[in-house]
A = this chain, B = another copy of it.
Amino acid sequence: MPGAPEFDTDFHESFRNLLIWRRDVRRFQTHPLPPNLLQELIQLACLAPSVGLSEPWRFVEVSSVSRRQQIRQEFERANTEALAGYSGEQAALYSRLKLSGLDDAPVHLAVFSDPTTAQGAGLGRQTMPETLEYSVVGAISTLWLAARAHGLGAGWISICSPERVHQILSVPPEWRLIAYLCIGYPDADHDTPELQRAGWERRANSAAPLLER
């Protein structure tokens, strides 16, 4: 088909660098994104695959100071609870980790899935209904890479009760929270994960083994 692009070795190399330098960012500069960049990232995210072409992603930008404060409190509550599950050295290390950029990130973006969507007419969702949520995750992955390509960092907060976040944001009751993201310009760029730099966990030295069946 005419028009299909070729991706050359220069692109392969740049794409690999994009993956290597994408981080889960928790340390942000406070200055805002240029106008329309967030919308541009969401537009790119919407090019992600979705089961049955259901496009179940729903994006919510959280700007209200009061709602941000409540999200911050919910993170603190859940993080304190998580800390209580560790002991000794591990607890001490956990308490030193910076696990969210909620205070500084100029953009808070909550991403939901809408399981009631009629779009796609249920195709592909009978045996693995979870692919609806997975479609939203694919959109988030795409947004994350697009953000990095524009010099932005994103951080995914999972230390919060999804029901509580849902309540704080007053979104339709049937929606399901997939991610609460912080987005902004990172303090610094890194090619290794923050959890590895902080001594919590190490990346596997090589790719996962490929089992044969």
A16 beta carbon closer than 8 Å to chain B: yes
Do A151 and B213 touch (CB < 8 A)? no
Do B161 and A211 touch (CB < 8 A)? no
Q: Identify 15 residue pairs between A and B in the complex whose beta-carbon atoms are under 8 Å apart, listed by A's number.
A: A4-B189, A15-B145, A16-B44, A19-B48, A39-B207, A52-B200, A52-B201, A78-B126, A82-B123, A126-B159, A128-B159, A128-B162, A130-B133, A137-B137, A138-B140
Number of A residues whose C-beta is below 8 Å from B?
109
Which residues of A come within 8 Å of B, CB atoms? 1, 3-7, 11-12, 14-22, 24, 38-39, 42-49, 51-55, 57-64, 67, 78, 81-82, 85-86, 90, 94, 97, 99, 110, 119-128, 130-131, 133-134, 137-138, 140-142, 144-146, 148-151, 156, 158-162, 169-171, 178-179, 188-191, 193, 195-196, 200-204, 206-213
